[in-house]
Chains A and B, each alone.
Chain A
Amino acid sequence: MRRYPWMATGMLACAVLGTLMVVVFPKVTQLVIDDVRRGRGDRLLPLVLAAAASFFARDLLMPCALSSIMPLNNG
């Protein structure tokens, strides 16, 4: 950690951001049930895209958290 502070910071940031993405889908589900089913059909597409984007970001950030520690092995 001391020798590679930026990699450690990047790893932690990616891990935290990736973990935070898990709150998006439950919120989207709630909004679909509360709003879309009550006549706000126009909000469905943005919500679905937001959910897909959050999953994509989560699955992109998690390996980034992993790959940021990979160079530690390069010495």
Chain B
Amino acid sequence: MIFDLRSDLYAHIQQLPLAWFDNRATGDIMTRLLEDVTAVERVLIDGIEQGVIAVLQIAIVTTMLFFYLPWLTWLALIPVPLLAVGALAYTFSAPGRYRAQRKASSAMNALLHDNLAGIRQIKTYVREREEHARFNGASDDLRQATMTVMRVWAAYNPAMSFLGACGAVAVVGFGGARGAGMGK
């Protein structure tokens, strides 16, 4: 599937008019062909698999829990609205951050490709230092964009994990209390 996708994309790029290539760096197009197709592959393989497993788990486990002990199930589900709000907030704010990262990655790849293709000219005109500075600038843009993505993820992921764990703690706490005959 990925082979076909990449092949179709390449065939499509070959059909584009030359004017289209005038406005785009070669590295930018390479990024689209190499990294973006790989990203689609991850969504198709990991995303679908994990999504299906998650939906099945939620459906089966929730049904069983309600079947056995509805009141405890409601307790376990207390964090769900907060999880939903967090997930929605992350999902709606993520495209901007990831777009900036992809743009920076694309820019760095484009610069790298152009410089490697023109390494003879760089050496001939003794532009190594300047080109190194340009590369560091592009690399720093990518670093900052990646750091933004990582910082938000490092806050979001554990927060969601802790909220989910609170449901398990509530189940053990209230279930234990009921089992011990407390609060009857």
A interface vs B, CB < 8 Å? 25, 28-29, 32-33, 36-37, 39-41, 44, 47-48, 51-52, 55-56, 58-60, 62-63, 66-67, 70, 73-74
Q: Which residues on the B side are within 8 Å of A74 (C-beta)? A: 143
- B residues in contact (CB < 8 Å) with A: 143, 146-147, 150-151, 154-155, 157-159, 161-162, 165-166, 168-169, 172-173, 175-177, 179-182
A57 to chain B, nearest CB (A): 10
Given contacts A66-B154, A70-B147, 11 further A-B contacts (CB under 8 A): A32-B179, A37-B179, A48-B173, A48-B176, A51-B168, A51-B169, A52-B169, A55-B162, A58-B161, A63-B154, A63-B157
Main secondary structure of the interface of B (DSSP, over half): helix
CB contacts (< 8 Å) of A63 on chain B: these are: 154-155, 157-158
CA distance A28 to B169 in the complex (A): 10
Task: Check A44/B159 contact, CB under 8 A, given A32-B172, A63-B154.
Answer: no
Hey, which chain A residues are within 8 Å of B182, CB to CB? 41, 44
A-B pair count, CB < 8 Å, reads 71
**In the complex the two chains form, what is the Cα distance from A40 to B181 in whole Å?**
11
**Are the C-beta atoms of A62 and B176 separated by less than 8 Å?**
no
* Most chain A beta carbons < 10 A, residue from B166, B173, B175, B179: B173
* Contact present for B180 and A36 (CB under 8 Å): yes
- In whole angstroms, how far apart are the Cα atoms of A62 and B143 in the complex? 21
Q: Is the CB of A59 within 8 A of B143?
A: no
From B155, B166, B177, residue with most partner A Cβ within 10 Å: B177
Taking a contact as CB atoms under 8 Å apart, the answer to whether A25 and B168 are in contact is: yes
Instruction: Note all chain B residues with C-beta closer than 8 A to A62.
Output: 158
A70 to chain B, nearest CB (A): 6
Q: Is the CB of A36 within 8 A of B176?
A: yes
User: Would you mind naming 16 contact pairs between A and B with Cβ atoms under 8 Å apart?
Assistant: A32-B175, A36-B176, A36-B177, A37-B180, A40-B180, A41-B180, A47-B172, A48-B169, A51-B169, A52-B169, A55-B165, A60-B158, A63-B154, A63-B155, A66-B154, A67-B151
Most buried by A among B157, B162, B176, B177: B176
CA distance A47 to B179 in the complex (A): 15
A39 close to B169 (CB less than 8 A): no
- Are B172 and A48 neighbours in the complex by a CB distance under 8 Å? yes
Query: What is the CB-to-nearest-CB distance from A45 to chain B, in angstroms, rounded to a whole number?
Result: 8
